[in-house]
Amino acid sequence: MKVVYAKTFEKAYRSLSPSIQTRVDKTVRLLATKEEKKPYHPSLRAKRIQGTTDIWEASVTMKYRLTFQLYQGTLYLRVVGDHDEVLKNH
């Protein structure tokens, strides 16, 4: 699956610690390998953000989340960071 990083995602990613960046990389790999017939990996706890039709969130850790959209086989990564801040700025 093709992966596209929004500028907001790239900026937030650079501000994370190297250990969290490693966890983000793992989360992105798991999201990008999703097949149409398989659900998201359970560890991602992926779910649609309430009040939206096409924006999803996935867990990086219990504290960190990322938001994304899927469109025509492309994974668009929107933002990554602290759980509460990411959901405020989805």
Residue 74 token pair: 């492309």
Q: Digits of tens for pLDDT over the chain (90 positions)?
A: 899 999 999 999 999 999 999 999 999 999 988 665 455 788 899 999 988 899 999 999 999 999 999 888 899 999 999 877 776 765
pLDDT (0 to 100) of residue 89: 63
Give the domain CATH number at 74.
3.30.2310.20
The reply to whether the predicted model has a pTM over 0.85 is yes
How does DSSP assign 65-76, residue by residue? EEEEEEETTEEE
Sheet containing 2-5: order of strands? 2-5, 74-82, 64-71, 56-59, 47-48
Domain count, the chain: 1
State the residue range of the domain holding 47: 2-88
